[in-house]
Each structure stands twice: as structure tokens, then as C-alpha cells.
Structure 1
């Protein structure tokens, strides 16, 4: 499947971005949001945009998305199981 989004040229001018840079950032933002919503795993999100998992996880901070989003109980359970 392919998603096509029309972006007016003046948006790129305002953002001071080349079309390729804007497209990559938009894909990363989409993947980060899908990961944040727990719709995709980090590996699946990274694969979706052609990025390795470690690089994807390292970029999440740019979008305010935590790498690990566990409740206190989930974290305690993980520690107990370690």
C-alpha cells in the first residue's frame, strides 16, 4: 500500500526543508505515533519506514515519545521476571 500526501511547496519553504527531508520526517512521525499508540512494535515501525530498530528508538525523543512506556505495575513485573 502507498499513501500519497500533497504538500504545497510553500510548506517546505516555511519549514526550510528539502522535499526528501520532509518526507522522511513525516514517515518517522507517523511510525513514532503508531508505536506510541501501541499499534506497531518498535521493530515493525522501524521496518515500515526502512530504518533499523535501534535508530528508530533513538529518534523517538524528537517526537516526545518514550522508548519504554510501562505502568509502575508492568515495570515491577518485568523486574520480578528478570
Structure 2
């Protein structure tokens, strides 16, 4: 696993777990990480990570509108 080091202004009052969750949820939403990889990145179980995704306005079902329409047409 790669390590990322960033500098944040002292005025930002946010803990490391929150930063990891923000980054992991965005990378999951964009399809860069699987749910398992994102959960591992945050140190959470898959289930806990998926339960928390809603707090970050990220859907657990990471399907595009095009994928949904294709599934609908195939059904």
C-alpha cells in the first residue's frame, strides 16, 4: 500500500479517520477502489465502510445510469 503525506493548515480541525474516510469514499465513488480496498484503506470492515458511505453522499451501489439502463434492457 502506498503512503500519502499532505500538509493541512492548523486551522483545520479534522481527525485522521475522517480524512481517510473522505478520501476512500471519493475514490470508491469514482471507481478507483473497490469497496474492500476502500475499507482496508480506512481500517474499517467492509460492512462498516458501506454503512458509513451514506454520510458522505456516496451510494453503496456504484452503478452508472448507463449500467442500470443496460441491466434493465437485459432483464
Instruction: Normalising by structure 1, report the TM-score.
Output: 0.72
- Taking the aligned partners of 2:34 and 2:48, their CA distance within structure 1 comes to 14
What is the aligned residue count? 71
Distance 1:77 1:51, change over 3 A: farther
Larger radius of gyration: 1
Q: Deviations over 1:41-69 (max 9, x none)?
A: 10111012211100000111111100103
1:73 aligned onto 2:66? no
Higher relative contact order (CA 8 A, sep 6+): 2
Instruction: Normalising by structure 2, report the TM-score.
Output: 0.77
Instruction: Please identify runs of 4+ aligned residues in structure 1 that moved more than 4 A.
Output: none
Alignment of structure 1 residues 19-58 onto 2, 5 Å: 22-58=15-51
Distance 1:37 1:76, change over 3 A: same
Per mean C-alpha deviation after superposition, the further-off stretch among 69-78 and 34-43 is: 69-78
Q: CA RMSD in A?
A: 2.0
